[in-house]
Every structure is written in C-alpha cells, then in structure tokens.
Amino acid sequence: MIREIIKDPLLLNKKSTDATYEDRWIAQDLLDTLNAHHEHCVGMAANMIGELKNIIIIADQSGPFVMYNPQIIKTTGFPYTIQEGCLSHQGTKETLRYPQIKVAYLDDAFKKKIKTFYDYTAQIIQHEIDHCNGILI
Ligand SMILES: [Zn+2]
C-alpha cells in the first residue's frame, strides 16, 4: 500500500526500534511507496511512512532490496561531503559519508547477513540508517 510521506520533524526525530518477523508487511508498504516516488527517491526508512521500526529499503542499480535492523559495524576510508536530498524535506543539504561500510542486517527472508557496500549504495544506506536513528540530514 502506498503510504503518505511523513514530513513532521518531531516524528522523524524519534528513534526506531528493531523490527520482528511480524513487521515484514511494513517492507511491502515501503516498496510500494518507494515505487510511487521512484523518479526522485533511491531509498526510504520505515519512519518516513510513520512506522518506527528499523527497516530500510535501498534502490540502487541492483534494484530495490530491504534491510531489517541494519547496523554499520565498520567504516573504511576518509569521509567525504556530498549534497543529499530527502523526500521528507525540501531541498538538499551537505552531509558527511563514508565511501565503504560493513553492515550487519537481516535480509528479506530474515536471514542474518554481513556485507560490505561501496560508494553510492553505501551513501544511501548511511542516509536511511540515519533516519532509523532519528537523524535528518
Ligand atoms: Zn531521507
């Protein structure tokens, strides 16, 4: 189901909690909402549709994939500054991102994964994990 995008900073500043197997329906709503905004959106976090769960969806070149309870366990390289936009607010803002991150998460089948991501994909993941922590760019 396509959901309304939350833009209220008071809601977006709240930290999300870990998702459980029963929360997987939220990922479907995230996917539907992402697809509705695909022309200018490359990722979303569950709190952007009002669900305070650690669920993110990433739409990089390899297509949309879901990560439950993602945690960055290692960053590599020097952080760089870049302009980022966000569906939850107007315009772009400069932010700091690492070029390489190692992330522990549960995949769409709720299997534990540890994977290294680079460059653009790593940037999107960092942005969406910030959302889970109540951080807006
Ligand atoms: Zn955002």
Q: Is 128 a catalytic residue?
A: yes
Give 15-25 pLDDT, tens digit per residue: 999 999 999 99
Q: Residues 4, 22, 39, 128: which is the catalytic one? A: 128
**pLDDT at residue 106, rounded to an integer:** 98
Query: What is the Cα–Cα distance from 48 to 117, expressed in whole angstroms?
Result: 23
Instruction: Quote the CA–CA distance of 15 and 118 in Å, as a whole number.
Output: 25
Mean predicted lDDT score pLDDT of the chain: 96
Residue 68 alpha carbon to ligand 1 centre in Å: 17
The alpha carbon dihedral of 74, 106, 114, 64 has a sign of: negative
Overall average pLDDT of the 19-48 stretch = 96
Report CA(93)–ligand 1 centroid distance (Å).
11
User: What contacts 10, CB < 8 A, 6 or more positions away?
Assistant: none
pLDDT at 40: 86
* CA–centroid distance, residue 30 to ligand 1 (Å): 13
46 touches 56 (CB < 8 A): yes
* pLDDT at 109 exceeding the cut of 90: yes
Q: How far is the CA of 11 from the centre of ligand 1 (A)?
A: 13
**Is the pLDDT score of 84 beyond 90?**
yes
